[in-house]
Amino acid sequence: MKVLMVSSHTDDAIVIAGGTILRILEAKDQVFYAGLSIASESLMPGFPKDTVETETKLATKILGIDAQKVHIGRFPVRRFQEHRQKILDALIDLRNRIRPDVVFVPSTTDTHQDHEVVNRESLRAFKSCCSIYGYDFPWTELHPMKLNLFYQLEERHIEEKMKAIKCLKSQIAKKTPYLTEEYIRGLAIERGVRIGAKYAEAFEIIREIRRIGTEGISSR
């Protein structure tokens, strides 16, 4: 299976779905990672413009993603609306080059302007070719999304995910609470409780395609 993680800002999917990435790679499936913006405009003073790109490459390496499968874009943060067509073109290019079986994208209920654009353009780019799952950012959602796909995690997944997140030093410097180990563990515990597990990450099934002869990654 080929799995594509589409991340509006290069670090998003690491924070939300890092444990699931580890699970997918353990199952010997391929993971491709596409970050569309390095958000250089929102860096704190003192950090080089390419800081987030460097951090993302370090974090994805810790998660086990092949460096050749990490794609970094430079769309301006908080201005995705102005670049919808170019973002769609970039996603279609990824679709044609990777031919993924599964794509993870921001959820359909996300209110962040960049996340919303990536969700809508991803639906246009991938709706006919592969399964699409949504990941949520609880702090940017007005209405909680429907969680109907869960990946059970073990302690090792949380520990490796935290190692990856600690690479995001420029974001941690902003003192954002959702990058703390307390929050990461707490959310994984809350999602785990829903399925009778210690930890989990949860997603929205936006579109699921089951091909003849394949079980589909959600069965793992």
At 71-111, the pLDDT tens digits run 999 999 999 999 999 999 999 999 999 999 999 999 999 99
Domain residues of the chain, as ranges?
Answer: 2-204
pLDDT tens profile 144-197: 789 999 999 999 999 999 999 999 999 999 998 899 999 999 999 999 999 999
What would the DSSP string read from start to end of 116-179? HHHHHHHHHHHTTTSEEEEE--GGGBSS-----EEEEE-HHHHHHHHHHHTT-HHHHTTT-GGG
Predicted confidence at residue 11, as pLDDT, reads 92
Please state the pTM of the whole predicted model: 0.94
Candidates 3.40.50.150, 3.40.50.10320, 3.30.420.140, 3.30.1330.10; correct CATH number of 2-204? Answer: 3.40.50.10320
Quick check: helix, strand or coil at residue 2? Answer: strand
